[in-house]
Structure 1
Amino acid sequence: MTWLIGLLGSVTIAGLAYWKRSLSGSGFAMAVAVGTVLYAAGSLAWFGTLIAFFVSSSLLSKWKHRQKAAVESTYEKSGRRDAGQVLANGGLAALLVLANAVAPHPLWWAAFIGVMATVTADTWATEIGGLSRVPPRSIRTLRPVAPGTSGGITGLGLLASVLGGLFIGLVAALLLLIQPSQSAEHLVPLALLGGLVGSLTDSWLGATVQRLNRCPVCHRELEAARHCGTETHYHRGVRWLNNDAVNLIASAAGGLAVLMAVALF
């Protein structure tokens, strides 16, 4: 019965997102699969935390879209999320809930909070930080870089990361008041920690090893496969390490940060 409820709930939410053009067809299918697993193998807290990330991120991606259009043109992917993006943001969460179903342990939940805080903090930083009036600086060199440059950070983006992590911690804590199923102890500070570590890891990887291309027209260094109406060419970084792979690694870093904090304190 729980699988059916999870499926119906996931189809409804993902269907609305598809209708609003926040998900592609493949993104819809993957979102339904991930959401169903989170509800059926977990609980309201696992499922609701994922939905909080998904809904808030989708709304922010639509917010002031025209003002962010120039920046988003440099991204590998923007607009409708496909299966790769959904898997990069929710795949590790699904694995953690399955691991908890097979061998229940509080650490699975702690890692999950770190993962979800990371993907939320990173997405919020991208969507809100893209509106910064102050040019970003490279996390590696601290020199000013063009808006949309991988590894660029702004004060507004960092604030958004903090708020994204706090948001996940608060949502998870509130959901556990409705249906207690996991530990609610220190959820907010743990989510804040995981979100910051994970989002900064994402920026560092973007500045150092992520695959970046160069536009032959404007000569910008960017993620996108096409820019200025033409194909871009490989410039530097690990060829297979695209934005989805970076997001997945960063979310693992956020989860690991929370696990270490729980183990130490």
Structure 2
Amino acid sequence: MVEWVIGLVCSLIIAGAAYAKRSLSASGAAMAVVVGTLLYAFGSLAWFGTLIVFFVTSSLLSKWKQRLKAAAESGYVKSGRRDAGQVFANGGIAVLLCVGHYVWPHPLWWPAFIGVLASVNADTWATEIGGLSRSQPRSIVSGRKVPAGTSGGVTWLGIAASFAGGLTIGVSAWLLSLGEPAGTESVSPWMLLLLGICGGLAGSLSDSWMGAVWQVMYRCPVCGKEIEKSRHCDTAAVRFRGASFMTNDTVNMISSLVGGAVCIVLYKLF
């Protein structure tokens, strides 16, 4: 019961602060409390703390130079204030991996967890930092220049941010797992750095590719802009590709699975 209480109290404090700073909506704060409590109760400080590193850094970046990124982000379906869907998309699989480790301890749970969080962190950093790039994004599919904010558009600044975001998760996991019980310390520091970088890049780039090919997209009949949301310029937008269920949250979850899978393969190989 002690772990449940500590996890609940810490999650309430962090989620409450994020809600007050408008980084989380009410539903997002509630989901964050659930996710955080479960991670601490079924995992440990390493599992819980690594998620918190993702959440804090991504929240701070979403507020950084917000006005400069406003134009590029105007077509995004979600704003910087995360709701329950976004919190679950970014942390739900991480919770399942943590619970899986608790029920059936195995060395692969921890690398997969690192890959999932490195993926969502790298993707978030790429979006928030890459949106400030002075160079025009290029489609990850065709290589052609696309307007800023286009789903599937990438820049070298965004890719560098993905690298840094994944590395941050690897470093954090290493530091937080020092002295931890079996299940985390079996992964060497160098392996954690490799998992963070490779899992982050794989997840972030696959997110961009799916965003360009599979994600549902709409076109505004007023301004003609291609957007992720179903309304723009106070008018209903027209869907021109992608299944309605293949939303940004769905793409985020699938890409995080890619990051986790890549890390499992790397761990098995090395």
TM-score, normalised by the number of residues in structure 1: 0.98
Question: Take 1:11 and 1:246, find their aligned partners in 2: how far apart are those partners?
Answer: 28
Instruction: Tell me: CA distance 1:104–1:180, structure 2 relative to 1, closer, same or farther (3 Å).
Output: closer
Matched-pair contact (CA < 8 Å) for 1:162–1:192: yes
What SS is found at the alignment partner of 1:240? Answer: coil
- Computed over aligned residues only, the root mean square deviation of the Cα atoms, in angstroms, reads 0.9
Give 2:233's aligned residue.
228
Is 1:31 aligned to residue 32 of structure 2? yes
Alpha-carbon shift at residue 224 of structure 1 (Å)? 2.0
What SS is found at the alignment partner of 1:195? Answer: helix
Aligned residues, how many? 265
Give 1:192's aligned residue.
197
Matched-pair contact (CA < 8 Å) for 2:59–2:80: no
Alpha-carbon shift at residue 229 of structure 1 (Å)? 2.7
| Runs (4+) off by over 4 Å | none
Alpha-carbon shift at residue 228 of structure 1 (Å)? 2.1
Give 1:203's aligned residue.
208
Question: Take 1:115 and 1:176, find their aligned partners in 2: how far apart are those partners?
Answer: 17
Matched-pair contact (CA < 8 Å) for 1:210–1:238: yes
Question: Take 2:20 and 2:125, find their aligned partners in 1: how far apart are those partners?
Answer: 22
Q: Amino acid of the residue matched to residue 96 of structure 2? A: L
Matched-pair contact (CA < 8 Å) for 1:176–1:184: no
Is 1:171 aligned to residue 168 of structure 2? no
Question: Take 2:39 and 2:187, find their aligned partners in 1: how far apart are those partners?
Answer: 18
Query: How does 1:1-265 map onto structure 2 within 5 Å?
Result: 1-177=2-178, 179=180, 181=182, 182=184, 183-185=186-188, 186-265=191-270
Question: Take 1:15 and 1:57, find their aligned partners in 2: how far apart are those partners?
Answer: 16
Question: Take 1:155 and 1:58, find their aligned partners in 2: how far apart are those partners?
Answer: 22
Give the fraction of aligned pairs with identical amino acids, expressed as a percent.
62
Alpha-carbon shift at residue 148 of structure 1 (Å)? 0.5
Alpha-carbon shift at residue 64 of structure 1 (Å)? 0.3
Question: Take 2:217 and 2:71, find their aligned partners in 1: how far apart are those partners?
Answer: 17
Matched-pair contact (CA < 8 Å) for 1:221–1:235: no
- Extract unaligned runs of 5+ from structure 1: none
What SS is found at the alignment partner of 2:239? Answer: strand
Question: Take 1:35 and 1:106, find their aligned partners in 2: how far apart are those partners?
Answer: 22
Q: Deviations over 1:189-222 (max 9, x none)?
A: 1110100000010000001010000001111111
TM-score, normalised by the number of residues in structure 2: 0.96
What SS is found at the alignment partner of 2:16? Answer: helix
Question: Take 1:254 and 1:26, find their aligned partners in 2: how far apart are those partners?
Answer: 26
Question: Take 1:208 and 1:191, find their aligned partners in 2: how far apart are those partners?
Answer: 25
Question: Take 2:179 and 2:240, find their aligned partners in 1: how far apart are those partners?
Answer: 50
- Extract unaligned runs of 5+ from structure 2: none
Alpha-carbon shift at residue 18 of structure 1 (Å)? 0.3
